[in-house]
């Protein structure tokens, strides 16, 4: 019974992951795994921020916009168009639409916080 529970947990853990190819601010696409069960737009942004901070520790920018390639079937042909994620329903639809594809292509826009911008304008000697 213990082995069965271990296998069940391992299966559930692998099933709730989805491969994403994310391009941050037009750079080279990075491959990462996404948790998608019960995920929200805020959760996706958090996962992308965490990934970006892991590969670029000095980067203080945060995820502002996320777009993905949405598949569309028309006249027996699949085409893709870029769609911005704006709410949790968009997120659920994105994962549902990609259930037959191996990955999701994303474009992520990172922006600096207002505080970071203001601090960059103030010389370091003048900061309190």
Structural domains of the chain sorted by starting position, each given as residue range(s) with its CATH number in brackets: 16-119 (3.10.20.90)
Is residue 24 within 8 Å of residue 110, measured between CB atoms? yes
pLDDT at residue 112, as a whole number: 78
- Residue 11: is its pLDDT beyond 80? no
pTM: 0.72
pLDDT digits (tens, 9 = 90+) for 109-125: 998 777 766 777 777 66
Burial 66-93 (b: 16+ CB within 10 A, else e): bbbbbeeeeeeeeeeeebebeeeebbee
Q: Which two tokens stand for residue 38?
A: 């019960």
List Cβ neighbours of 83 (8 Å cut-off, separation of 6 or more): 67, 68, 69, 70, 90, 94
| pLDDT-based confidence at residue 126 (cuts at 50, 70, 90) | low
pLDDT digits (tens, 9 = 90+) for 57-95: 888 889 999 999 998 888 989 899 999 999 999 988 898
């Amino acid at each position: 019974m213990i082995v069965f529970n271990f296998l069940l947990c391992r299966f559930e853990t692998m099933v709730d992951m989805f491969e994403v190819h994310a391009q941050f601010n037009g750079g080279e696409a990075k491959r990462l795994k996404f948790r998608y069960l019960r995920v929200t737009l805020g959760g996706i942004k958090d996962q992308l921020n965490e990934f970006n901070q892991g590969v670029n520790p000095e980067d203080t920018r945060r995820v502002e916009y996320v777009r993905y390639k949405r598949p569309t079937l028309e006249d027996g042909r699949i085409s893709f168009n870029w769609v911005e994620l704006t709410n949790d329903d968009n997120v659920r639809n994105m994962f549902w639409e990609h259930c037959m594809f191996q990955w999701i292509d994303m474009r992520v826009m990172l922006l600096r916080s207002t505080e970071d911008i203001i601090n960059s304008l103030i010389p370091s000697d003048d900061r309190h």
